[in-house]
């Protein structure tokens, strides 16, 4: 049987466009001789729809879209993710389902059994878990239907299974006979390192159950979540026979017989690398602005590496004609920084403006003097400059209808080395989940073919240039210390004592953790950022702002 695996980039709630995309892709698959086409989890609604699932009108429109989709596609079997109703008298009112239909008739409906509630996921808030596994006979094959998390609880690959239930044994070896194909519809977000982790888990499942796997993943940016696609067909020995492109819509056409036979060329996936992170950030920037109705972006260019990387990503995402860089020098800005900002703009081919802030800064200092006295060399003076810049950039954004992209990295955001209503202003924080060390790595990746980010920008010591001769290292631990401590505490949930035991000074570690806790209020007001690590600042991290917990050291 020829089967099409089709990864789509939906827009949440745009049922017409999403269903048209499914119908067009199904037609292409039919023309390619396919008898079955498989689409991602919740492909009709888009994932995750969040509290839209509580609106009756949203659900009614989804029901109508699903009905029309089923009636409109002929001559090919379709498996697609969809919302269905849970009709029992108690429990959540909805199911996250896989609907299998052909020629106007539903052949099977499978409900997701394992509903994740960790990190960015909150599916138990809306959905009732399925009570049984679903298999179906289709053109001589026994197909086992599963949805994303349903295959993530295998005890052999999970350090600590999160659920008491593992649907796989029942799903793949039901009472009626062994499944020939395991199908998994997914909306699995990207994070650095996850692709290889998934492949390791999938390989173990295929070998353990002697069953091929067809995995179809959503692609595209949805708010802070980035879906990488990379749909695949894996044979029963756990070898990848076909894999879709990453970070773009794609269709794979496979023959089920080559998967059962376990013969043919093996595709060895590359480890997650900087190219994946870069592609994810470009896709996320393009989709966030595009899906929110913006065509152009504004960036404040300081001559530093963070704004340079942000500009390079934005330029690739939206095109050079749609990005404007603005330098806003103050009395503390070096001539070299303005030169580096201009050179970057020339290398990218974007519009560039210089808007000095000295006069505004001087007037504000004079206005505040009667109340605050001398502000020289004070943090207040530094924040004034950042807020002037944020105010002016937002004014340009308002007038031009462009989105302001903020440029802070994860290391700075973690310890509050940023100014609320200043450099934190903007509609999207492109690199807010990128640690400073990775910022440098990505900058060098951007320059892999030619110099785009000026070499001096990469080589010079980082500085906010808000005070005379200021350097980041005067106010922060070295980034080669800060980054691993932030990762250990934030992403790995290690204690202060554990971090110290790994070789870091206790006083430095305690100070970093103190800064992280103290600046929670800033992050609550930060613009949305694009998630590329296992734990980002955003709605996947739920920490109270007012709290007084102290670890015993």
Catalytic residues: 41, 112, 148
| Cα gap 123→553, rounded to integer Å | 36
- Rounded to 5 degrees, what angle do the CA atoms 506, 511, 514 make? 125
Tell me how far CA of residue 466 lies from CA of 300, 365, 478, 532, in angstroms: 15, 14, 19, 30
Burial of 403 (0-12, 13-18, 19+ CB in 10 A): buried
Pairing type for strands 77-85 and 36-38 reads: parallel
φ/ψ (deg, to 5) at 171: -70, -45
Q: What is the dihedral of CA 446, 449, 453, 455, to 10 degrees?
A: 120
| Cα gap 4→8, rounded to integer Å | 12
Pairing type for strands 428-429 and 403-406 reads: parallel
What is the H or E stretch that residue 198 is in?
Answer: helix 194-209
Pairing type for strands 323-327 and 297-300 reads: parallel
Among 221, 442, 441, residue whose Cα is nearest residue 310: 442
Pairing type for strands 213-217 and 232-234 reads: antiparallel
Among 388, 401, 420, 399, residue whose Cα is nearest residue 300: 388
* DSSP bridge partners of 137: 142
* DSSP bridge partners of 36: 3, 77
| Cα gap 394→89, rounded to integer Å | 51
| Cα gap 171→513, rounded to integer Å | 45
Q: What is the CA radius of gyration of the chain?
A: 26
Pairing type for strands 250-255 and 232-234 reads: unpaired
């Amino acid at each position: 049987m020829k089967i099409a695996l089709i990864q789509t980039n939906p827009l949440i709630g745009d049922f017409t466009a999403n269903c048209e995309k499914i119908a067009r892709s199904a037609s292409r698959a039919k023309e390619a001789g396919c008898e079955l086409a498989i689409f991602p989890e919740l492909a009709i609604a888009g994932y995750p729809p969040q509290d839209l699932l509580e609106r009756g009108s949203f659900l009614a429109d989804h029901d109508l879209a699903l009905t029309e989709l089923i009636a409109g596609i002929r001559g090919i079997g379709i498996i697609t993710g969809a919302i269905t109703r849970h009709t029992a008298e108690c429990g959540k009112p909805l199911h996250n389902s896989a609907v299998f239909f052909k020629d106007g008739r539903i052949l099977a409906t499978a409900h997701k059994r394992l509903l994740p509630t960790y990190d960015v996921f909150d599916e138990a808030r809306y959905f009732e878990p399925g009570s049984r596994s679903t298999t179906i006979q289709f053109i001589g094959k026994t197909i086992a239907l599963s949805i994303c998390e349903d295959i993530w609880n295998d005890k052999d690959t999970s350090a600590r299974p999160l659920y008491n239930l593992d649907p796989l044994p029942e799903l793949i070896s039901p009472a009626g006979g062994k499944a020939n194909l395991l199908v998994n519809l997914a909306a699995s977000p990207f994070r650095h390192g996850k692709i290889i982790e998934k492949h390791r888990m999938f390989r173990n499942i295929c070998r353990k159950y002697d069953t091929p796997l067809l995995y179809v993943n959503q692609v595209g940016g949805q708010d802070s979540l980035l879906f990488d696609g990379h749909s695949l067909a894996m044979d029963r020995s756990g070898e990848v026979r076909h894999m879709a492109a990453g970070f773009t819509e794609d269709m794979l056409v496979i023959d089920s017989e080559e998967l059962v036979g376990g013969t043919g060329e093996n595709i060895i996936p590359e480890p997650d690398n900087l190219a994946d992170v870069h592609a994810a950030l470009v896709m996320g920037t393009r989709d966030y602005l595009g899906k929110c109705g913006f065509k152009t972006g504004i960036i404040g260019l300081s001559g530093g590496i963070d704004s340079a990387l942000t500009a390079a990503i934005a330029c690739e995402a939206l095109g050079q004609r749609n990005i404007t860089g603005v330098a806003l020098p103050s009395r503390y800005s070096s001539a070299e920084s303005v030169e580096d900002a201009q050179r970057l703009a020339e290398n990218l081919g974007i519009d560039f403006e210089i808007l000095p802030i000295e006069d505004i800064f001087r007037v504000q200092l004079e206005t505040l003097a009667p109340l605050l006295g001398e502000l020289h060399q004070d943090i207040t003076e530094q924040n004034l400059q950042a807020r002037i810049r944020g105010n002016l950039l937002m004014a340009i954004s308002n007038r031009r209808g462009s989105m302001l992209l903020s440029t802070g990295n994860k290391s700075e955001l973690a310890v509050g080395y940023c100014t609320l209503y200043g450099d934190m202003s903007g509609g999207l924080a492109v690199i807010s989940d990128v640690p400073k060390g990775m910022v440098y790595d990505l900058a060098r990746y951007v320059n892999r073919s030619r110099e785009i980010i000026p070499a001096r920008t990469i080589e010079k010591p980082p500085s906010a240039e808000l005070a005379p001769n200021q350097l980041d290292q005067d106010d922060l631990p070295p980034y080669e210390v800060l980054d691993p401590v932030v990762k250990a505490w934030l992403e790995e949930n290690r204690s202060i004592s554990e971090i110290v035991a790994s070789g870091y000074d206790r006083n430095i570690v305690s100070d970093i953790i103190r800064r992280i806790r103290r600046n929670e209020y800033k992050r609550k007001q930060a613009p949305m950022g694009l998630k590329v690590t296992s734990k980002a600042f955003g709605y996947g991290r739920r920490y109270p702002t007012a709290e007084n917990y102290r670890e015993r050291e």
